[in-house]
Amino acid sequence: MVFPAAGPSRVRIIVAPDSFKGTATAEEAARHLGEGARSVIRDAEITLAPMADGGEGTAATFSGRTVTLPTTDAAGRLTEASYIYDAETATAYIDVAAATGLPAVADKPVPLTGDTYGTGVLIADAESRGARRITLCLGGSATVDGGTGILVALGATPLNAAGYALRPGGGALRDLDYIDTAQLNIPAASLEWVLLTDVDAPVTGPTGAAAVFGPQKGAGPEDVELLDAGLARLCEVTGVDPATPGFGAAGAVPVSLHWLSTMLHGTSDHVIVVPGAPLVAQALGLDEMIPEADLVITGEGAFDEQSTGGKVVGTIADLVAGTGAALGIAAGRVDAVPPRGTLVAELSGDGGTDVATQLREAGARLAADYLRISTAQG
């Protein structure tokens, strides 16, 4: 969306934020930040490009028809979830968070028993509608099951040494002996997989899925130790290197899907794991637009050390680097040092001021700061 200039264009501004989780979608954030910038630079040409990084809301950035169906959440409770299906390209865009997201179980987290079965239901449904490729957006999950719930939904059953099916969730994975594929849904399992990550974490270890993200999903220290051991066992059974960057995303979902695809095709060529934000940016044409911009505004709920590790803000910063554009970051909280020369506007956090107003104020401050530095630089 472009806000046309009121007169001859002097300043070209691109507004490309992530969502401010729980308070504003990426679309809302972009609109409010753009309105704030417009209040200061009235003759600017402002392009809104709401972003996503593989987390919640990424699927919606792609074109296609919305499909909604019954499935289960991470706790196994009946729910409804939606995904995007593009019949022209035979591609389904699915957020893991749609069925298996953290908000649905925030009142009672399930770090040891939560599983991704509900996401597998969406995958199987997409294949039945003609999908040949699944673009799976991995952020925002409530689970640390290594994607084994998806395997179960597709007919592959993790078993222990006695031949009994494992209990759902990552807490049982240390007892994994092998995965039975006798009832495998081969058409769904043999799809092309594009796995979009919002982190570059490995599967196990101090920077892995359990240690870093388990506590966010309700795991205590003993739970983290149990989950890490379970994921290590899953990697051993599937032959996946637990140090592989990005394979810790969404509670290590890539582990199971990499194994599944490689097992069926005899090669890993049919499954790729890539950072989601650069792909979304490319789909929006930002790699071409940003070099022509004067100011690029991005943002997220909290700017921290993870922000530059495959997320939206880091991706936009990389695209701005080396161009003539100035970079502005709006954030509800700033917990890390931004790239040198970056303009920063922290939301007021005033409980009496709605988020839309805070975002407009942040957009206005960034625009005013841009005018100051551009004037100083001549």
Residue 376: the pLDDT is 62
44 CA to centre of own chain: 31
Residues 6 or more apart in contact with residue 147 via CB below 8 angstroms: 116, 250, 251, 252, 253, 254, 255, 256, 257
Alpha helices by DSSP H, listed for the chain, are: 26-40, 96-100, 117-128, 148-153, 186-189, 221-238, 249-265, 276-283, 286-289, 312-320, 355-376
Q: What is the Cβ-side half-sphere exposure of residue 301, based on CA atoms within 13 angstroms? A: 9
**Pairing mode of beta strands 133-137, 192-197:** parallel
Report the number of secondary-structure helices (H) and strands (E) in the chain: 11, 14
Nearest CA-CA partner of 140 in 76, 201, 103, 97: 97
- Alpha helices for 186-306 (secondary structure H): 186-189, 221-238, 249-265, 276-283, 286-289
Contact in structure between 66 and 55 (CB atoms under 8 Å):
no
Parallel/antiparallel/unpaired status of strands 2-3 and 45-48: antiparallel
2-51+284-376 and 59-277: identical CATH topology: no
Q: What are the domain boundaries of the chain?
A: 2-51+284-376, 59-277
The CATH number of the structural domain formed by 59-277 is: 3.90.1510.10
Three-state helix/strand/coil letters over 4-19: CCCCCCCCEEEECCCC
Determine the residue type at 213: F
The pTM of the full predicted model, rounded to 2 decimals, is 0.84
Token look-up 């399930």 returns 110
Tens digits of pLDDT across the chain (378 residues)? 554 444 445 799 999 999 887 789 899 999 999 999 999 999 999 999 999 888 888 998 888 999 999 999 999 999 999 999 999 999 999 999 999 999 999 999 999 999 999 999 999 999 999 999 999 999 899 999 999 999 999 999 999 999 999 999 999 999 999 999 999 999 999 999 999 998 889 999 999 999 999 999 999 999 999 999 999 999 999 999 999 999 999 999 999 999 999 999 999 999 999 989 998 999 899 999 999 999 999 999 999 887 876 789 999 999 999 999 999 999 999 999 988 899 999 998 766 679 999 999 999 999 999 999 887 665
Burial 366-377 (b: 16+ CB within 10 A, else e): bbbbbeeeeeee
Homologous superfamily (CATH) of 2-51+284-376 is Glycerate kinase; domain 1 (3.40.50.10350)
**Which residue is listed with tokens 């592959």?**
156
